[in-house]
Chain A
């Protein structure tokens, strides 16, 4: 097998109901909810084909009499309800997948029968794992995940803090909203304290500054051409021309290797290198210095080596922390492609460029535009912000592209961006700082307050931090004691508040969404009596709603609605849900959910090959991810049919992606307009476009690659898992790798057809691979193509760099058929066939969104509610906001 299916670890599979759980030919599973909540039980026995297979190929040796190798299979339980039974069956599956049974001297089972048996057993075990692992309909006490924690600090205190020292809470299976998957450790507790201290110090500082007169505001503009000319001119005349002249002198004197030292070179190689170096770089530098308007501004080079490729704005150390604005007057070279006219902003560290944003430069050098970027300077945060042409993270890309251009034009890659000047201004006033701090602290900043006032402040903030719940007196007493101790050690009143606030932000009432049990007995109640559903209190429901839709705590309006009892009836609840969806903060739901649901993190698993995919740089990759989130968000906010994710007559893109896809705005077909700017918007597509829907998105297609080549297997498995609600079982261990075709120059399709030869492979790949073939018209970075290529290393062109050149080409053959479904001739027919399975898609989406919303895996006992939600979504036309409203008004969402 050239590539084996890579399953994503975790149990984020959907839970389509199979009632009774009879599978194609294999076993049938007893489904019992271990929590005791589920009353449903499906009892059944192994169906004849499975029993026959075992009888024909296994039990002759593995029975009670012989028990070859100590293994008995004649008494295998026909229902899998226990961990032990699952392990026994897992071992049967394991040896069959590994091909180690039946032994070589015994007849092999027919391929078709073995394939069916393996397919059925794999699926049965996957269902059994979920059944045994089913935690029932009871949720688990939820800690705020890292996203929610950061949003909550921002919402509560109005400060942004770096939370990267905390675990990201994704990856252990399920969503990061599942209480059962959110762990706590002593290190993490200490990180909460540390982050909390930074956040508390930030808000105390803001409180203090709100009461002080605004520090004087400066505007500092820098003309950039002088430094750029000095840098590039110095390089040309010093290193390159200087070295070249010396080397020529050495040459003229006979090029004696022994005399290289006399001309200032360590050896002859260095002298020869300096001759070449000038010939290669001299023309480029000369041309740079002669570029139009290079006496009025600075061109940014794409090539990096010591050139003027970055402009940095630094806010000096003596400027106080606060809000600032950065400005650049910038124009684009209209002779280079639109896709290169983007300015990338970031923070440069040792060998890293941390991207903060990207800006499209739409105006030409003759009429430059001004780009404004607001920034917040914190006491220990970054003060230097760098701007450069957007580029690949791979440093080799710059010199490679430059060498390619030099082979064509003899000089090098044209500059794309010109900067007239840069400036910073600040600190700017904090217009809502005074109000926000007053609301939080209950008073204006005061250098010293008495014990009662301190306690009042701590209590006031605690009520907000704990989402409306008043803390106990003994708890507050201890916070006051901590404040006292801080003061006793010499800290001023306000600074001494940092520690008790940090403690508050590491306390369970802040970190956990606490929903007390119905029976408030003195000791923990046993599970059986906890089974009674309890309606959430108004405040609890408000928290659940806002953490679902905003990944953030309730705002004042929602708290007020909760306090007024407006969430008690489904109508009031739905109304608040609609309000939250309409708010821009609902992007956090779209992002948090789709990122995990669709496994978008896979896109970051590898770096894209800069030679084969020069345009798919970091900024494009981020924009491509954003397209997924923004599309989902658009459907949500406009209550459009969620099935548009399968096929859609519009895309949601920004200028960068429009350039990448080569899209114009054709709402008026007679007058196509370019799509420019850094905001995402809906753009109609012509019917012939392969874009529109997840299957046409660069991020989705890129995830189904390794950054270099496409992986039809990854793509096919993803489609089954995410779009057709028909997840293949996880990649099995120990399947022998097919090596028959190793090293052969054949197409991916030919290579993967070998999967059909072995039952261990065919059981899954017969369903997976054809879908992947149907997507082969998209390359690894999601661009449309009609040929696939194998590459070898060579000189790319005469005088060009050494790199990948096409070795063999194959025409793409996208035709195929869904397993047990319709045939398709090309991508468009495949897309139509998948779109025709819209109800399956809705089931997968609804199950996943439901699980994400209520913070626990979907249980088998939820089948009825999921069925109801799906039926309603189908009847309602699939509107995404309507689906959300239906979910939040289910009893499951409103009770615990």
Chain B
């Protein structure tokens, strides 16, 4: 479609100097407001916390005059563009090994009588309901194959839907790449026929599901409703696919990743894919539940991931600090890449992204003062500061609500939020 531009894009790699021309999808969405550059949200979560002693800035030094501690030192070049927040927690969290299950939801596991587990919608999905309307993918969930050992807790990704059910994530860079940029070599008529076939599959199973549903008790009906919801989700997706059918997928701004990347390389590539997904405006809401077990393995650390979070002075603590620095290095590179992409209005992609990076676990079994770094200009945050919240147990939901409102979601409540965090605003 734009062979010359595309060629340049590919040649330029990620350090792109050209303004990104709006994709067709974007153009269609933006027809009403032609100069608006979209706002995006990305939430990153690592499982087993950080090294308590060396990751948090000195609580006494707040505002702009603070020193980046050892664990965040690799972010030095972005110090003016990030905010480190202390004092956030999910008040219901009790599971010392679940770093991600309730991270974006703030839910009470025991909140529903008669059930030993319940969850609620995650902040990203609230945003996706609005921001996802005009993109090919309403939202994108990324995860890894070692989630179980990485301290994330139950769930399939960071995202949970309105019903509090887990949303699946793409667990390798290759899978994410295929989803975003996978070739559609088939002719349009063929794809339309396949779409009809997929619909007829849904029709068939729905016929049976409805006839079974008529015989069920209320509890079983609720259970089968997950099945109906799955089918409805696919129908929604198919409808969206249909409306995008005549719009080719964007040409990928990076090469297809290898199939067996793990650890550090895996995270680096997922970060590249996050940038690529935003750049091509394939989606505006992304969550990434990062690998930790394979990250430390790829760094040559042989301590078990859980045991690393129970570091004691000596080898284990050093390994834990190395892990922190590595995660900060990777994040710094992601920020570099986001800053290098220029938008149609001359701003950078980083200016249009609201990014958060953290975990529900601080370190060891501590679930208070959840490690939190935010970045990007998408939510109108005044960056470059270290913010220590006065209330030591400020709900994480207050941050999520602040970011949601910041990116223009019209809502005055989220989960157990008691308000927004005024200190973060300019």
Interface residues of A (CB under 8 A from B): 2-4, 6-7, 9, 11, 34-35, 82-83, 86-87, 90, 98, 129-130, 132-136, 138, 140-141, 167, 171-174, 179-181, 183-190, 193, 349-352, 471-472, 474-475, 478-479, 481-482, 485-486, 489, 499, 503, 506-509, 511-512, 514-517, 520, 522-527, 530, 605-607, 609, 706-707, 730-735, 737, 739, 742-743, 857
Nearest CB on A from B323, distance (A): 16
Q: Of A183, A352, A481, which contacts B226 at CB under 8 A? A: A183
Question: What are the 3 tightest A-B residue pairs by CB atom distance, in nearest-first order?
Answer: A516-B215, A187-B168, A606-B304
- Given the contacts A472-B207, A478-B204, A172 and B217 also touching, CB distance less than 8 Å: no
Whether A138 lies near B117 (C-beta < 8 A) is no
Residues of A within 8 A of B302 (CB): 607, 609
Whether B365 lies near A732 (C-beta < 8 A) is yes
Residues of B within 8 A of A132 (CB): 110, 113
Nearest CB on B from A523, distance (A): 7
- B306 interface residue (CB < 8 Å to A): yes
The majority secondary structure among interface residues of chain A is: loop
Docked CA distance A527–B113 (Å): 14
Name the residue of chain A whose CB is nearest to the CB of B214.
Answer: A522
Docked CA distance A3–B364 (Å): 9
- Given the contacts A141-B224, A732-B365, A737-B364, A11 and B114 also touching, CB distance less than 8 Å: no
Docked CA distance A90–B168 (Å): 31
Whether A512 lies near B212 (C-beta < 8 A) is yes
Cross-chain pairs A/B with CB under 8 angstroms, 13 sampled: A3-B307, A9-B154, A83-B111, A140-B220, A180-B223, A188-B230, A479-B204, A514-B212, A522-B214, A605-B306, A732-B365, A737-B310, A743-B314
Docked CA distance A496–B167 (Å): 32
Whether B153 lies near A9 (C-beta < 8 A) is yes
- B221 interface residue (CB < 8 Å to A): yes
- B260 interface residue (CB < 8 Å to A): yes
Whether A731 lies near B200 (C-beta < 8 A) is no
Whether A133 lies near B115 (C-beta < 8 A) is yes
Q: Of B153, B166, B234, B365, which contacts A189 at CB under 8 A? A: B234
- B219 interface residue (CB < 8 Å to A): yes
Whether A503 lies near B310 (C-beta < 8 A) is no
- B61 interface residue (CB < 8 Å to A): no
Query: Chain B 196-231, CB within 8 Å of chain A: the 1/0 string?
Result: 110011011101110111111111110110110111
Whether B113 lies near A517 (C-beta < 8 A) is no
Q: What 16 new A-B contacts, CB under 8 Å, besides A134-B114, A189-B231, A520-B215?
A: A9-B97, A11-B117, A98-B368, A171-B148, A184-B230, A186-B234, A475-B208, A478-B204, A499-B197, A507-B204, A508-B208, A508-B212, A514-B212, A527-B217, A731-B96, A743-B312
How many inter-chain residue pairs (CB < 8 Å) link A and B? 228
- Given the contacts A90-B94, A472-B207, A482-B200, A523 and B115 also touching, CB distance less than 8 Å: no
- B70 interface residue (CB < 8 Å to A): no
Q: Of A7, A173, A503, A508, which contacts B209 at CB under 8 A? A: A508
Docked CA distance A669–B262 (Å): 53
Docked CA distance A349–B260 (Å): 9
Whether A4 lies near B230 (C-beta < 8 A) is no
- B62 interface residue (CB < 8 Å to A): no
Docked CA distance A30–B314 (Å): 48
Query: Chain B 177-203, CB within 8 Å of chain A: the 1/0 string?
Result: 000000000000000010011001101
Whether A734 lies near B227 (C-beta < 8 A) is no
Q: Of B153, B205, B212, B227, which contacts A503 at CB under 8 A? A: B205
Residues of A within 8 A of B154 (CB): 9, 171-173
Docked CA distance A511–B209 (Å): 11
Q: Of A87, A352, A512, which contacts B108 at CB under 8 A? A: A87
Name the residue of chain A whose CB is nearest to the CB of B260.
Answer: A350
Docked CA distance A739–B98 (Å): 24
Nearest CB on B from A161, distance (A): 19
List which B88-127 residues lie within 8 A (CB) of chain A.
92-98, 108, 110-111, 113-117
- B156 interface residue (CB < 8 Å to A): yes
Name the residue of chain B whose CB is nearest to the CB of A522.
Answer: B214
Residues of A within 8 A of B218 (CB): 524-527, 530
Docked CA distance A524–B93 (Å): 35
Whether A530 lies near B260 (C-beta < 8 A) is no
- Given the contacts A87-B108, A193-B201, A525-B217, A186 and B231 also touching, CB distance less than 8 Å: yes
Residues of B within 8 A of A186 (CB): 168, 229-231, 233-234, 237
Q: Of B168, B310, B367, which contacts A185 at CB under 8 A? A: B168
